[in-house]
Structure 1
């Protein structure tokens, strides 16, 4: 007698889903491989065109016509696209650099980067971020429009990370900080209270995490921590899985004041003492303020022995509709003036 058990409907569909996932994974792998091979081919074509660019624009036009006649089913050989390949080869200095990042993103994103970036460093930085952060074309567009490269790479940051943390942790912590942080999904309010800012960030925590970057996990708002006989409450608490450390964020809707750094330093000591395990790196702190005097901020951090960064933040310049509804109309103002 055959020893075959009867499969339930649930078991069957579980097996079916598992097999479908294997098929999807294989399809994605094939697509990614094809994407890489196409980009390498485009780069090599561009490199060849660069080497013969002395022949002028008519050379590219003629080349386009002949390639389209030879490969009528392919749509990638227009004169415009060949010129993009030429720019692509100019921006990426070698095939080694190409393999590290740019070859792995889609051609649409590459073309967008060619049009939007100013030099090779900026192009390669965004290309690598697309791979590391898993950005889609739309997210890439948003990050470029928000000036992320300038805010994260070119800006002179106000932190003491390099003096308070051993490398490579100090360098990595410095790299992830932005100034300013852009929360353009938060409508402006007049005035914007700290609780309002906190509420808006928690309500849009997915977008906040995208602005902070990969590796951040949100642990809570007004996070309670018991020290001595008293409870203290941290505005926002995160954990960064890449750096293996807690990340404390304090929000201020006013300009930076030196005493803010002292309070945040206390919070970092409390987290290190109450939450941090032996496997965790030292806790990092970030003060997000409406504005700051850079010299004052640097002096405030000079004798702080906890790793702290101080950055400004920006919200949308569009006012909340609820606030707009409560503002007096032009007619109301005119009637009051007449009175």
Structure 2
């Protein structure tokens, strides 16, 4: 007599779920413990704030007492983190049970309140692990989205208080693809980049943004005896539209834009359902001339987007420079 396979799988699923809940419960209890320690330190520090250097004396003395007994978790540096944790998140009911201490230690480093609220909302909505949260912060996701929107709109969409209505609300320019492990100094073909994206599809979808689902690679389109192949096809459930991505490993040309426009037109006429919104086309390129893109496309264009990609994490200064450029463009448009 042999047990059914589905019964074994069912019991295994129950065990795995219980183990995961137990781990999360322990993690959250640890987070609460650190928060309470931070609260005690902060309140004691405030009581003695008229004494110069009391805060540093307090933490140093506590670490001297606790570290020999409980280990490096209660070192001077760690106790400082606990105090900062309480100062940053003073309301215990606002703590998220799905966040580990690593999540919070990453969030504490963010000084800007709107920026921190954005990453909290995105991490909750997308169930980001601590490593994914850190990666999104390091790639300056918040700043990149600000290039096409204002801070309050970006935060509202992260909290699901506002639904995106324009592709630029969620599609980033530039896109950061450091997870592909392609050297920026090396020459490579479009097919190499495409293959690497498929290999790292989960990370690529995270970089694309919310609501994306993969549909096809090298999608064959047959038009009056000629065959064409679309690099990548996705669907975005928030925008309710197909999203076509064409990859270019060189500077964008007007011929590239024309090719993508043909693919978008095909999907609008033969694939899109009546209830769906117009197809979005993204040209993923190493470089682009924004003026050329603007002149090539109709003035009312909302479906073709040219986005640069980079194979390394941007520095804060690079993002500030890009933001400055975008602000200057807006100023020039208003003046004209």
**Secondary structure at 1:225 match in 2:** strand
State the Cα distance separating 1:47 from its structure 2 match: 4.4
Q: What is the DSSP-based 3-state SS (H/G/I as helix, E as strand, rest coil) of the residue aligned with 1:186?
A: coil
1:56 matched to 2:55 = yes
Question: How much has 1:249 moved relative to structure 2?
Answer: 0.5
Name the Cα RMSD after superposition.
Answer: 3.5
Matched, 1:240 2:240: no
Task: For 1:131 and 1:82, locate their aligned partners in 2 and report how far apart those are by CA, in whole Å.
Answer: 26
* Equivalence for 1:282: 278
Aligned to 1:326: none
2:170 is aligned to: 176
Return the offset for 1:202. Answer: 3.4
- Rounded to whole Å, the distance in 2 between the matches of 1:168 and 1:308 is 20
Q: Offset of 1:210 from its aligned partner?
A: 3.8
In the TM superposition, 1:300-315 aligns within 5 A as 300-301=296-297, 303-315=299-311
Aligned counterpart for 1:19 among listed residues 7, 11, 22:
11
> Partners in 2 of 1:24 and 1:191 — Cα distance?
45
Larger-Rg structure = 1
- In the alignment, what sits opposite 1:136? 129
3-state SS, counterpart of residue 234 of structure 2: strand
Residue 112 and residue 239 in structure 1: after superposition, are their counterparts in 2 closer, same or farther (change >3 A)?
A: same
Q: Which runs of 5+ in 1 are unaligned?
A: 1-7, 158-166, 318-339
CA offset digits 1:296-319 (Å, max 9, x no partner): 4345455244423221012369xx
Q: What is residue 99 of structure 2 aligned with on the other side?
A: 105
1:237 CA displacement:
0.9
Cα 1:190–1:23 change in 2 (3 A) is: closer
**SS of the residue aligned with 1:108?**
helix
Question: Is the CA contact 1:262–1:304 (under 8 Å) kept in the aligned structure 2?
Answer: no
2:86 equivalent to 1:89:
yes
**With structure 1 as the length reference, what TM-score do the two structures score?**
0.69
Q: How far is 1:68 from its partner?
A: 7.3
TM-score normalised by structure 2 residue count = 0.70
1:134-213 pair list within 5 angstroms: 134-151=127-144, 153-156=145-148, 168-170=163-165, 173-184=167-178, 185-188=181-184, 191-213=187-209
Provide closer, same or farther for how the CA distance between residues 24 and 199 of structure 1 changes in structure 2, counting only shifts above 3 A. Answer: closer
CA deviation vs aligned residue, 1:256-312 (integer Å, no higher than 9, x gap): 334544443332222122222245343222111211233443454552444232210
Structure 2: 5+ residue stretches without partners: 150-161, 314-336
Equivalent in the alignment of 1:336: none
